[in-house]
Amino acid sequence: MRGNLFWRAVLVLSVAAILSLAASTANAGVVTAPVTGITGSHGGDEYANGMISLINGSGMTRPNLSDPSTWSRSGAGYADEWMASSLVGALNSKVAWASFDLGTSTSLADLYLWNNTYQGGVSGTKSYNLYYADSPTVALPAQPNKGAYSVTGLTPQGDYDFVAGGGWTLFNTSGALSVPKAGTSIVDLSGITARYIAVEILLNWGDTYGGNRVGLSEVAVTTPEPATMALLGLGGLALLRRRRRA
C-alpha cells in the first residue's frame, strides 16, 4: 500500500513538473546553434565581409539572438551579403556552395535561409540541394579568407563533390526547396543529427552581371530547446513508472 502511495506521489510530481515545463516551453525560444567554421566557393568573396557575412548578423535586425524567427532583414547592399561568381564546369551542375561546421554532432531543428537582395533579388538563390554529414570522408577546404577571389570562382575553395565526397546525405532535391527572390526559407531538419550542413546552389534568379553572381544574405541553424528535451524525459519517466505499476 505504501509502495503504491509512493509511486502515486512520484507520478503526481512528474505530471506537475511536466505541466510547469510545458507552460514555460510554450513561451521559450529555440536555441541557435553556433557555427564554428564556414567554407564555400568563390574563395571568400571580394566584397564586404566575405563568407562571414552569412553568419555575423550583418544586414539583420535580431531582437532575440537565440530565436531566428524574430529576425528580419535591415540591409540590402552586398556589404551585408555573401555573393559568389558562379563556378565554371562545376560538378553536379552547381553554381556555388557553402558549408557550415557546427563544431560537433548536433540535434537539429530548423535551417533559416535569408535570400540575397542585391539588384532586386536577381542574384539570390533560386534552387539548391541540401546536404548534411558528421564525418565527410573527403575533407572540406579550409575556411577562405576575405579577398581570395577569382573571376571564375575556381580558387582552392572552388568546387567540392558532395556525392563522391563520401559521408554526405542529400536531405532533399531542389524542387522542394526553392525560395523566392529576397525571401526567407525555413527548412525543418527535426530528427536529423549532424555536424555539417551544406547548401549546393543550382540556380540564381537571373543575374548575369560580373560573372553571374549568386548568394545568400544570412543563415541560421537551430536546435531543440533544452526545456523541451527535459519535458520529454520527465514524460517518459512518468509513463515508465505507471507501466511498472500495471
- At a CB cut-off of 8 Å and minimum separation 6, what does 18 contact? 231, 234, 235, 238
Residue 106 sits in the same domain as residue 194: yes
Residues 149 and 206 in one domain: yes
- Provide the domain count of the chain: 2
Do 237 and 156 lie in one domain? The reply is: no
Least confident of 22-26, 133-137, 209-213: 22-26
Taking the C-alpha atoms of residue 138 and residue 108, their distance in angstroms, rounded to an integer, is 23
Let me know whether 142 and 103 are in one domain.
Answer: yes
Q: What is the mean pLDDT of the chain?
A: 77
Pair 90, 199 in one domain? yes
Shared domain for 150 and 91, answered yes or no, is yes
Whether 169 contacts 137, CB under 8 Å: no
Q: Output the pTM of the full model.
A: 0.78
DSSP-assigned letter for residue 62? -
DSSP class of residue 155?
S
Q: Pseudo-torsion of CA 130, 134, 140, 145, nearest 10°?
A: 80
Q: What CATH number is associated with residue 194?
A: 2.60.120.260
% of the chain surpassing 90 pLDDT: 38
Q: pLDDT tens digits, residue range 127-173?
A: 999 999 999 999 988 777 665 544 444 444 678 999 887 899 999 87
Does one domain contain both 9 and 78? no
Q: How far apart are CA 43 and CA 149, in angstroms?
A: 5
Q: Which domain holds residue 142?
A: 31-224
Q: 147 with 187, same domain?
A: yes
Q: Are residues 3 and 102 in the same domain?
A: no
pLDDT digits (tens, 9 = 90+) for 81-103: 888 888 888 888 899 999 999 99
Mean pLDDT, range 17-25, rounded to an integer: 38
Are 121 and 214 within one domain? yes
Asked if residues 129 and 202 have their Cβ atoms less than 8 Å apart, the reply is yes
Residues 198 and 214 reside in one and the same domain: yes
CB–CB of 178/127 below 8 Å? Answer: yes
> Strand 168-172 and strand 213-223: pairing?
unpaired
Q: Of 120 and 115, which is predicted with more confidence?
A: 115
Residues 56 and 1 in one domain: no
